[in-house]
Amino acid sequence: RDFFDISFLKEYVSDHKVLVLILYLIILTFIGLTFIPSTPFAIAGVLLFPPLEAYIINLIGILTSSIVVYYFTQYLRLDVWLESKYPLQIEKIKKALRKKELPIIAGWSLFPVVPTDLIIYVSSTLNIPFWKCAIGIIIGEGTLNAFYIFSIDFFI
């Protein structure tokens, strides 16, 4: 622990909590458009905020990111790019989603190496209601983030 002293960072966050919180949520909200998994940000959140606060902030950020992806990927024409770049993979995801929407979304969200935003994008193109996506995300990402955030002291 002495090797990795982040007291200066915690002090900065303490002194500028509102600013750091706003910037962190903005990053979490728009990272979804890049389809980069949020796992590193969940772990970074533990360094910036107390565990319960980090958990709540991360879930809010994941949900706002999902809203952006769900409603704006088609508007931004990311759907055309994704479907031209990964046609077989997108069709495979669509086929699975048509059978079992909520379990697929929750399971996908629980798997740490795939971007949750991709399943949200595909759900959007299939007109799966956002509330189903949100529940699946809360189940999957909520579980995954709880593991990361509340067990980090064990690993550090």
The string of DSSP codes covering 64-77 is: HHHHHHHHHTTTTT
Q: Is 99 helix (H, G, I), strand (E, B) or coil?
A: helix
- Mean pLDDT in the chain? 85
Maximum pairwise Cα distance, the chain? 51
- Give pLDDT, residue 133: 94
Q: What are phi and psi of 28, to 5 degrees?
A: -60, -35
pLDDT tens digits, residue range 14-69? Answer: 788 899 899 999 998 888 778 777 778 888 888 888 889 999 999 999 999 999 99
Nearest residue to 68 via CA among 37, 35, 33, 34: 33
pTM (two decimals)? 0.81
Cα–chain center distance at 112: 10
End-to-end Cα distance, the chain = 7
Is pLDDT above 50 for 1? no
- Give pLDDT, residue 5: 64
Residue 90 lies in domain: 2-155
CA dist 79 and 5 (Å) reads 43
How does residue 4 score in pLDDT terms, banded at 50, 70 and 90?
A: low
Percent of the chain at pLDDT above 70?
94
Query: Which of 34-43, 78-87, 129-138 has maximum average pLDDT?
Result: 129-138
CA dist 42 and 146 (Å) reads 9
Q: How many domains does the chain have?
A: 1
